[in-house]
Amino acid sequence: MRTKKITPEQIEEIINDERKQKIIAKEYGLSQSYISDIKNTKNKKKLMDENKYKKLEQQIASITEIITELYKILKDMRK
């Protein structure tokens, strides 16, 4: 059932959520076992690291877009 991507913020919400794992799983579209993994201390660091890496990739992509646009503007200014 683990088909949905979750954000670091959602991981924090799940970790702090006091409700039953089955209810949390249904709300997030995840399996109960995955919710258990998130709440399990040995997996928290791995999950957070994976999501931080994804977030960093998104930030790099945004910066790349900005640099590309700035390059286009500078190129147009030289004409």
Structural domain count, the chain: 1
Backbone angles phi, psi at 7, to 5 degrees: -90, 165
Does residue 1 lie in a domain region? Answer: no
Does residue 3 lie in a domain region? Answer: no
Over the chain, what is the mean pLDDT? 84
pLDDT at residue 15 greater than cutoff 60: yes
In this prediction the pTM is 0.50
- Cα distance between residue 6 and residue 40, in whole Å: 16
Task: Report pLDDT for 48.
Answer: 67
- Domain, as residue range, for 38: 8-78
Does residue 39 lie in a domain region? Answer: yes
Does residue 68 lie in a domain region? Answer: yes
- Cα distance between residue 72 and residue 75, in whole Å: 5
